[in-house]
A and B are shown apart, each in its own frame.
Chain A
Amino acid sequence: MCFRRKTKAESNIQDREIIEENSKTIDVLIKLSNDEEYIEKLRYVQETLKYLTPSTDGKVYAADKKIRNIIGDLKIVLNKSVDKEECKKADGLLRDLDVAIAERKVLE
């Protein structure tokens, strides 16, 4: 039986999938959002997420999972009918998303 070493693409496939999933979920958020300001911010985030470098490092993978969780929470908030409280929550989550992406970039 012949064993070969995994290529870099094969070894960081998990991280690549999360990055791709995050980027696609932002598309859904853009469709759900009515506010122009949110749409602009989300487009900027989407561009940033597209060009993150996949990695085999556990910390980087954990950071990408954290970004995915925040995007999930944002999806819930944007699905609800928009009132003042939900807007505040959405603003808070967008800020958390910016911080999480900045932390992820530091680990690259």
Chain B
Amino acid sequence: MNSPETPGSDSDRYWKQCLNVVYIILGIWAFISLGCGVLFREFLDKTMPNVGHAPFGFWMAQQGAIIGFLILLFVYMIAMNGIDRRHGFGKDDE
């Protein structure tokens, strides 16, 4: 659908889509770790329901953020591979 012969516009579009993925992932990344685990921890400890018997903010800082990172990386892989495919990149890799 997008011909690689017109690199100017297509690679610009490609790069823009990649950046959008990066921004979204970075936003969630910062929110679950530095946000929930550090900045809003005391607020979350008080207002959110406990995870098991652990206060929410404490749990996010010790377990939840790490689990979130894992999900983020997985989503990133799927999203980027999808963008690559739509732009005709990386077909013959792997």
**Pair from one complex:** no
Contacts from A to B (Cβ < 8 Å): none
Contacts from B to A (Cβ < 8 Å): none
